[in-house]
Structure 1
Amino acid sequence: MLHFVVIFLDTCLAVLGVYLLKRLLLESKHKLPPGPKGLPIVGNIFDMPSENAWVTFAKWGEVYGDISSITVFGQTIVVLNSARAAFELLDKKSSIYSDRPVLQMGGELIGWKNTLALMPYASKRFRRYRRLFHNLIGSQATIGQYYPVQELETHRFLRRVLTSSEDLQDHIRKTAGAIIFRISHGYEVKECNDPFVRLADLATEQFSVATAPGQFLVDSIPALRHIPDWFPGAGFKITAKAWASTLLEMVEQPHNFVKQQVASGTAAKSFTSSLLESKQLTDEEEFDLKWSAASLYSGAADTIVSVIYTFFLAMTLYPEVAKKAQAEIDAVVGSDRLPTLADRSYLPYIEALVKEVFRWNVVTPLAVAHRASQDDFHDGYFIPEGAIILPNIWKMTHDEQTYSDPMEFKPERFLANDGRKVETDPRETVFGFGRRICPGMHLADASAFISCAMSLAVFDITKCLEHGAVIEPVNERTNGTISHPKPFRCSIRPRSQKAAALIQADD
């Protein structure tokens, strides 16, 4: 057994050495984007931040410019710290930069490679998924058919918050899950501890960790995926198996639910039931259907959760913004009904507030990584085939050249009052770039608007008092590909008895 291990390690080191030598010879001929100086062989592995990577990368941008790079075991990683650089590479050269890197942990070992987020750009399956999503939620016109679902589930969200505001984060997750599962599977979530929502939340939380840069060494040294499970340091393989099981359950269980409903003739209309009822699907078509339905949840639900939780944090910290927004709702909608998505064009301050929520705390601070599918030269720098491209969206939305006082929450920045210059709509960057823009962007945007408008119409959101002392929330973020505000406390109370009656009114 020891002899086997020695041979295996020797082989891995030999393969790694040949690969690194080839990369060094190639890159020595050309100039990579600037960045921190690395060490021989391992490169910049000790420079990779373990948390809040977007902040570290932003600091690199101040030193090295809009485009910087590092290498880790021969793998080139390029960081884009400006919207201009991101658009020039990922939009204008989208034919080169639309691929995804092969993520050994999240993609290969766990299985997220079967979802749209990590699927190779050149694959036929990617194009089929995109076609399915475009027909379902790909435009403002198609998303309009789901407005009643979003309004209904948001009204139910208000009712839950009224009953137990201390469980705010759970209520937000339940509402996001309810909206997505109604659309994807025609499934109405259970009021308490819904199994599908629980599974989906767990799986997307694991996705966030498994795909974050620098979290697992196997992503930098792919040969490690072949070491035996019992080998020291192979704990990541045990984790991968457990997380793969969670992902598979998230995909299979809702799909099987719909199949049973279709067989019994009781299926509600949904993305999944419509396709199952249209014809007898081949194994490949059914695979596409169930994984694209799962992609819808992972692509939109967690965005909705992060955005709405950010909204409540912002209203707690900036009460003057909440009062301005409530004044607009009172003037336009009145107090006899809840706002709807049909009111959106008449509520410009709420619209600006939603934009600011997306900008202030970005859901995916480093997006999902892109990959260069061929060698390229840009601004005099060499970007080799296979380079991982990380657009630092957090830096782009907090760039003082683009946004005044970027750390402050100021919806007015998006309004042209008093001759003020309107600042850039953050939705041009926060949903991604090129041919990898999030397909759930219209759904997430509409859900954010109706949640903000309805919540402000009926609730006062303020800081908590405990033993006479004000509890100050802190704007801190979780790590991972998908970032959320860390838990905070706030007080949520109905604005009036009339508002409470509106919340409790029948759907």
Structure 2
Amino acid sequence: MLTLTNVTGLDLCLACVGVYLLKQVFNKLKNPAYPPGPPGWPLIGNVLDMPHIKPWLTFTEWGKKYGHISHIEVLGQHIMVLNSVETAMDMLDNKSAIYSDRPILPVGGELIGWKNIMPLLPYGDRLRRYRKDFHSVIGTRATVGIYNHVEEIETRRFLKRVFTKPDQLLAHVRHTAGAIILRISHGYEVKESNDPFVDLADRALIQWSRATAPGAFMADVVPFLVKVPEWFPGAGFKRLAREWHDTLEEMVFAPYKFVEDQMAAGIAPESFTSNLVKKGSPLSEEDEHVIKWSAATLYAGASDTTVSTINSFFLAMTLFPDVQKKAQAEIDAVVGPDRLPSFADQGSLPYIEALAKETYDGMLLSLPSSNGISMSGFPHCTSEDDIYDGYYIPKGSVIIPNIWFMLNDPERYTNPSQFNPERFLANDGKKPETEPRTICFGFGRRICPGIHFAEASIWLSIAMSLAVFDISKAVENGIEIIPELDPISGTISHPKPFECSVKPRSPKAVALIEQDANY
């Protein structure tokens, strides 16, 4: 008789393999087949197949080999990768009732605390409340339009900063994005340099991108590791998580405390946070939690989405001078040299509109989507079993839309690696190509709620910058410096830091730049 005292490690291993194989056979008899994908190994499944570096490229290869939907299993977790816009819309839009949950991230979500911001919230009442609050502030073009004056003032200040210190372009982009959204989210006007809230958001978002990237921590794959003590060998991630948790908490609570203090003094300007506090006063614990974290979502998310896109714009203009000249010619013809473009000109500048779309649609020389969304799209999670196209999608499956491929699909876009704004214009009887906004801002009930705000900010930065600046390659010792086209991996995609030359177009442009920013 076999007892616990004479069971060897080999016996246990064989028993586990047997249970695993029986489970696989039972599931195949009970349910339709999973979608096709790389063959896995017993017990560990496709652990060795899961990509960690530029995963969107591996997902694209799977799409070529296995079709519009492919499947892997990592230690019992089913993962489906979607390489088709139509499939993504069928599943994530048309069946959004069961495809709108989020997977749990043991380190980034639970230990660090990012589970409280909107992108990681499970589908339910709290998420709906966040989205309702967002909709009231930036959910439509009309509500976004209320803040046009703020955007125009801060973008004018951006032009002046770039003119004064053009070698610090990327820092100016981030500073301005933070300045705009902090005035909207918390009524806070940033300092001219080294602003603590802008710097805080910068640190926290770098940590967010690292902490929530696929496979960032072994504990995300083997969740029981989060239970081991910090001193345990290999548990250094817990110390890091504690440090990053403190950064996140400060990013959430410090701006909220600023609003509380301003309201107590009777000097708080109107903002997303102050309006919600007034509306809900007196606040319950749940009210306060929702306001703090939804405001932090607005402050963090909006600042970084525009940063990555506007950096991509300057990179594109550095590399494609012909596109820049066409855009400037349109501005000169419509706006003229005596004033800066404003939102009132938006409908009269179709090439600028197309240029903005080409910038944020992720087609910049096959760079990943630069709207702050993961190149692969942030994963959805199924809340119940489903059958799609004859394939079995079990409850709890992680669904990853490969947005990078969808925006670089040669069957949808002509020469997708070519930077060509005219693809979005109706020319010579040709219809514009697919609107990138239907892809790059996500799908279904998890679509980005800040679409209109992002589009407005990006458009204005592009139009004003091109009106007064010529952007070109930097020159060092008589040699042009060609920027490196290699994105930084992480949840939020950015081009690598690059050098370029930014100079005023004319003396009239200098006069426009030097106008009072509050004009």
325-334 vs 436-445, which deviates more? 436-445
Q: Is 1:413 matched with 2:423?
A: yes
In 2, Cα distance between equivalents of 1:190 and 1:471:
33
In 1, Cα distance between equivalents of 2:212 and 2:22:
27
CA contact (8 A) 2:21 2:42 kept: no
Instruction: Give the direction of change, closer, same or farther, for the CA distance of 1:138–1:471 in structure 2 (3 Å limit).
Output: same
In the alignment, what sits opposite 1:499? 509
1:8-407 to 2 correspondence within 5 Å? Answer: 24=24, 27-29=27-29, 30-122=32-124, 124-278=125-279, 279-359=281-361, 360=363, 361=367, 362-363=369-370, 364=373, 365-407=375-417
The secondary structure found in structure 2 opposite 1:78 is strand
In 2, Cα distance between equivalents of 1:158 and 1:21:
64
Specify the code of the residue in structure 1 equivalent to 2:28: S
Specify the code of the residue in structure 2 equivalent to 1:129: Y
State the 1:180 CA deviation: 0.8
State the 1:397 CA deviation: 0.3
State the aligned residue count: 496
In 2, Cα distance between equivalents of 1:367 and 1:23:
31
Specify the code of the residue in structure 2 equivalent to 1:342: A
Specify the code of the residue in structure 2 equivalent to 1:175: T
1:430-449 to 2 correspondence within 5 Å? Answer: 430-449=440-459
CA contact (8 A) 2:328 2:467 kept: yes
CA contact (8 A) 2:313 2:359 kept: yes
CA contact (8 A) 1:20 1:73 kept: no
CA contact (8 A) 1:341 1:450 kept: yes
- Structure 2 regions of 5+ residues with no counterpart? 1-8
In 2, Cα distance between equivalents of 1:268 and 1:71:
51
State the 1:66 CA deviation: 1.0
Specify the code of the residue in structure 2 equivalent to 1:411: P
CA contact (8 A) 2:177 2:306 kept: yes
Specify the code of the residue in structure 2 equivalent to 1:306: S
Specify the code of the residue in structure 2 equivalent to 1:253: A
In 1, Cα distance between equivalents of 2:209 and 2:22:
32
The secondary structure found in structure 2 opposite 1:382 is strand
Specify the code of the residue in structure 1 equivalent to 2:184: I
Instruction: Give the direction of change, closer, same or farther, for the CA distance of 1:274–1:159 in structure 2 (3 Å limit).
Output: same
In 2, Cα distance between equivalents of 1:198 and 1:377:
47
CA contact (8 A) 1:103 1:219 kept: yes
Specify the code of the residue in structure 2 equivalent to 1:239: L
In 2, Cα distance between equivalents of 1:243 and 1:442:
31
**1:38-89 CA distances to partner (integer Å, 9 max, x unpaired)?**
2221111121222111111111111111101111111111101111111010
Specify the code of the residue in structure 1 equivalent to 2:474: C
CA contact (8 A) 1:34 1:69 kept: yes
Instruction: Give the direction of change, closer, same or farther, for the CA distance of 1:187–1:330 in structure 2 (3 Å limit).
Output: same
Instruction: Give the direction of change, closer, same or farther, for the CA distance of 1:99–1:497 in structure 2 (3 Å limit).
Output: same
Specify the code of the residue in structure 1 equivalent to 2:486: E
In the alignment, what sits opposite 1:6? none
In 2, Cα distance between equivalents of 1:172 and 1:91:
34
CA contact (8 A) 1:203 1:243 kept: yes
**1:269-316 CA distances to partner (integer Å, 9 max, x unpaired)?**
111112223422122111110100001123221110000000000001
State the 1:26 CA deviation: 5.6
- Structure 1 regions of 5+ residues with no counterpart? 1-8
The secondary structure found in structure 2 opposite 1:97 is coil
69-78 vs 21-30, which deviates more? 21-30
The secondary structure found in structure 1 opposite 2:470 is strand
In 2, Cα distance between equivalents of 1:276 and 1:369:
32
State the 1:19 CA deviation: 9.9
In 2, Cα distance between equivalents of 1:271 and 1:406:
39
The secondary structure found in structure 1 opposite 2:167 is helix
State the 1:23 CA deviation: 6.3
Specify the code of the residue in structure 2 equivalent to 1:332: V
Specify the code of the residue in structure 1 equivalent to 2:120: L
CA contact (8 A) 2:473 2:499 kept: yes
Specify the code of the residue in structure 2 equivalent to 1:62: K
Specify the code of the residue in structure 1 equivalent to 2:405: K
In 2, Cα distance between equivalents of 1:227 and 1:219:
13
State the 1:209 CA deviation: 1.3
In 2, Cα distance between equivalents of 1:21 and 1:139:
52
The sequence identity of aligned pairs, in percent, is 57
The secondary structure found in structure 2 opposite 1:460 is strand
In the alignment, what sits opposite 1:4? none
Instruction: Give the direction of change, closer, same or farther, for the CA distance of 1:294–1:20 in structure 2 (3 Å limit).
Output: farther
In 2, Cα distance between equivalents of 1:143 and 1:18:
59
In 2, Cα distance between equivalents of 1:419 and 1:506:
44
330-339 vs 226-235, which deviates more? 226-235
In the alignment, what sits opposite 1:425? 435
The secondary structure found in structure 2 opposite 1:418 is coil
